[in-house]
Amino acid sequence: MSDAPLSCEAVLKEATEVIGSDSPRLDAELLLSHVTGWSRTSFRAWPEREVKATQLACFFSLVDQRYEGRPVAYLLGEQEFWSLPLKINPSTLIPRPDTECLVEAVLMLEMSENAIVLDLGTGTGAIALALASERPEWWVSACDAVGEAVELARENAARLDLPVTVYKSNWFADLPVGCFDLIVSNPPYIADNDHHLSAGDVRFEPSSALVAGNDGLADIRRIIADAPFWLSPGGWLILEHGYEQGEAVQRLFAEAGFTSVETRQDYGRRDRFTLGRKHHAER
């Protein structure tokens, strides 16, 4: 790499050849935009625009980290979810677009105007904040067992000026007494021997947010078993899970007495989340 300034197009071409990801050009553009403050569209409008030599070292340092597999979102410190710019760090999962399908499903549920909602294992706060942005009349709270994640979710709520209360709690264990109309969660659901853990971005994400014992369903079992004690009659539980876990999760919902149990698909038409309703007559 020369110390002399290079054009945007030359810089992007060189980085694209190095990165080697599924979307190297996009990754390179995101990183260059982060370093220069220029929009991605400007790279196409003015490909000859020169990148300062002082910016090149920072940019290619990020490129090298991306080549090693570190997720772009961690390098940028930010990820968009539901059009919300969320601050992220390696203490949490990177919010995925497919989880937006879960948010869409929640917004279509039969819910009271002033519903009380809980997001379990919130991480960045993505689901809770998306719901709060769409339903300002709802009372939305969230929790996470990891202190860094709790602080991050609180920071995101403050930055976005969204009224989400975030607790430090291992699932329901340390929550204040309450009764919810909806409990939603994207819990760990990958088995510890799953080959996906050794590839892609998940290599750099916290295993505590990815891996669950007993074939990946340990945390899901725990949430389903405990949720009826925290749900109001007619309240909903909705959980994200692995694409091969739909039938197993449906059985767990049914065994716990939930009705209207249904598994729905993500944008890739893979089973991705299951929802069910607590029977109205339960106390």
| DSSP assignments along 69-101, one per residue | T--HHHHHTEEEETTEEEE--TTSPPPPTTHHH
Low-confidence residues of the chain: pLDDT under 50? 1-2, 282-283
Instruction: Give me the pLDDT at residue 282, please.
Output: 44
Single pTM value for the model: 0.86
Instruction: Give me the pLDDT at residue 70, please.
Output: 87
Structure tokens at 123: 């991480």
Which residue's structure tokens are 């982060």?
34
| DSSP assignments along 173-217, one per residue | TTPPS--EEEEEE----B-TT-GGGGSGGGGGS-GGGTB-TTTTT
Distance CA 104, CA 65 (A): 34
Which residue's structure tokens are 């020169």?
50
Instruction: Give me the pLDDT at residue 165, please.
Output: 96
Instruction: Give me the pLDDT at residue 1, please.
Output: 46
- Coil, strand or helix: which one is 44? helix
User: Quick one: CA dihedral 142, 218, 237, 83, positive or negative?
Assistant: positive
Distance CA 106, CA 231 (A): 15
pLDDT digits (tens, 9 = 90+) for 195-206: 555 566 666 566
Instruction: Give me the pLDDT at residue 173, please.
Output: 93
List of domains in the chain: 6-68 (1.10.8.10), 81-277 (3.40.50.150)
Structure tokens at 258: 């939930």
Instruction: Give me the pLDDT at residue 192, please.
Output: 66
Q: Residue 9: is it exposed, middle or buried by C-beta count within 10 angstroms (0-12/13-18/19+)?
A: middle
Instruction: Give me the pLDDT at residue 279, please.
Output: 78
